Structure 1
Amino acid sequence: MEILKNLQESIEEHSLRNAFLINGTYYTYGQLGAKISEIRNLIQDRVPSSEKFIGVVTNDDLETYAGIISLWFEGKAYVPINPIYPKARNKEILEQTESAYILDSSTSQYLDDGFQVLSTGNLPKHGMGMRPKTVDPENFAYVIFTSGSTGIPKGAPITFKNLDSFAAAIDDNLSFALSPSDRCLQMFELTFDMSVVSFLAPLLKGACVYTVSKNGIKYFEIVKLLSEYQLTVLIMVPSIIHYLRPYFKEILSPSVRYSCFAGGKLYGEIAKEWNKCIPNAQIINYYGPTETTIYCGGYLFNKDGDNKHENDVLSIGKPFDNTFYMIIDENGEEVGVGKTGELCIAGEQLFPGYIKNEEKNKQVFFTVEQEGFPHRFYKTGDLCYKDDDGDYMYVGRADFQVKIRGFRVELGEIEYHVKTKLAGVDVVVIDIPDGMGNLELGLAICGNKIDLEPVIAHLRQVLPPYMIPTQFLFLDQFPHNVNDKVDMKVLRAQFTDSKTKHN
Structure 2
Amino acid sequence: MRFIKDIQNSIRSNNSHNSLCINNIFYTYKDFENEIRKIRFAIVNTIESSERLIGLVTNDDIQTYASIIALWLEGKAYVPVNPETPLDRNYHIFELTKTKHVIDSSKESVYDDYEVINSGVLQDLHPSLSPKNFSGEHLAYILFTSGTTGVPKGVPITFNNVQALVDAINEEPEFNLNNTDRCLQMFELTFDFSVVTYLFPLLAGACMYTIPKGTIKYFYIFKLIKEKALTVLTMVPSIINYLRPYFPEINEESVRYCSFGGGALHSDIAKEWSECLPNCKIFNYYGPTEFTVYSGFYPYHKDTHTKTYNGIIAIGKPQKDTLYLVVNENNEEVPIGETGELCLGGPQITPGYWKNEEKNKQSFFIRNENGKDIRYYKTGDLCIKDNDSDFLYVGRADFQVKIRGYRVELSEIEFHAKSKSKKKVNMVALDINNKLGNAELGLAIESEPFDTSYIFEHMKTKMPNYMIPMHVRFIKDFPHSINGKIDRKELKKHFDIK
TM over 0.5: yes
Deviations 1:176-217 (A, max 9, x none): 110000000000101101011101100001100111122320
Deviation at 1:72, TM superposition (A): 0.6
For the Cα contact (< 8 Å) 2:40–2:126, is it kept in 1?
Answer: no
Question: Aligned with 2:137: secondary structure?
Answer: coil
Q: Specify the alignment match of 1:462 in structure 2.
A: 462
Indicate whether 1:452 and 2:455 are aligned.
Answer: no
2:132 equivalent to 1:166: no
Distance 1:177 1:425 in 2: 34
| Corresponding position of 2:122 | 123
**Structure 1: which 5+ residue stretches go unaligned?**
none
Matches of 1:196 and 1:486, distance apart in 2:
21
Which amino acid is the alignment partner of residue 111 of structure 2? L
Alpha-carbon distance in structure 1 between the residues aligned to 2:111 and 2:250: 42
Per-residue deviation, residues 40-98 of structure 1 (Å, max 9, x unmatched): 11011111112111110000000000011111111011011101111111111111111
1:169-208 to 2 correspondence within 5 Å? 169-173=168-172, 175-208=174-207
Aligned twin of 2:341: 342
CA distance in 2: counterparts of 1:268 and 1:34, whole angstroms: 45
Contact 1:327 1:335 (C-alpha < 8 Å) held by counterparts? yes
The offset of 1:103, in angstroms, is 0.2
Q: CA deviation at 1:303?
A: 3.5
| Corresponding position of 2:148 | 149
Q: Offset at 1:118?
A: 1.1
1:124-144 residue CA offsets vs partner (Å, 9 max, x unmatched): 131422101112100100111
Tell me the distance in 1 between the aligned counterparts of 2:224 and 2:95: 38
SS at match of 1:495: coil
Q: Match for 2:309: what amino acid?
A: E
- The Cα shift of 1:306 comes to 5.2
Q: 2:3 corresponds to which residue?
A: 3
% identical equivalent positions? 52
Return the TM-score normalized by structure 1: 0.97
**Which secondary structure state, in structure 1, belongs to the residue aligned with residue 203 of structure 2?**
helix
Instruction: Report deviation, 1:321.
Output: 1.5
Q: For residue 39 of structure 1, what is the aligned residue in structure 2?
A: 39
**TM alignment of 1:45-444, pairs within 5 A:** 45-112=45-112, 114-173=113-172, 175-305=174-304, 307-423=306-422, 424-444=424-444
- The TM-score normalised by the length of structure 2 is 0.98
Aligned-partner SS, 2:33: helix
- 8 Å contact kept, 2:71–2:77: yes
User: Is residue 2:22 matched to residue 1:25?
Assistant: no
* Cα distance in 2 between the residues matched to 1:287 and 1:216: 27
Gaps of 5+ in 2: none
Query: Secondary structure, in 3 states, of the residue corresponding to 2:154?
Result: strand
Q: SS where residue 341 of structure 1 aligns?
A: strand
Give the structure 2 partner of residue 480 of structure 1: 480
Residue 494 of structure 2 aligns to a residue in which SS?
helix
- The whole-number CA distance in structure 1 between the counterparts of 2:133 and 2:57 is 26
The one-letter code of the counterpart of 1:454 is: Y
Q: What is the alpha-carbon distance in structure 2 between the residues aligned to residue 385 and residue 76 of structure 1? A: 39
Q: Is the 8 A contact 1:293 1:349 kept in 2?
A: yes
Instruction: Read off the aligned partner of 1:246 and give its amino acid letter.
Output: P
- RMSD between aligned residues: 1.1
1:298-349 CA-partner distances (Å, limit 9, x unpaired):
0001243450000010000000011001011112211111011000000011
Counterpart secondary structure, 2:31: helix
Cα distance between partner residues in 1 of 2:134 and 2:344: 26
Contact 1:14 1:206 in 2 (8 A): yes
CA distance in 1, matches of 2:329, 2:466: 23
Structure 2: how far apart are the matches of 1:260 and 1:174?
15
Write the letter of the residue equivalent to 1:38: K
Amino acid at match of 1:43: I
Give the whole-Å Cα distance in 2 for the aligned partners of 1:135 and 1:249: 52
Q: Is the 8 A contact 2:41 2:124 kept in 1?
A: no
- Partners of 1:50 and 1:435 in 2: CA distance: 55
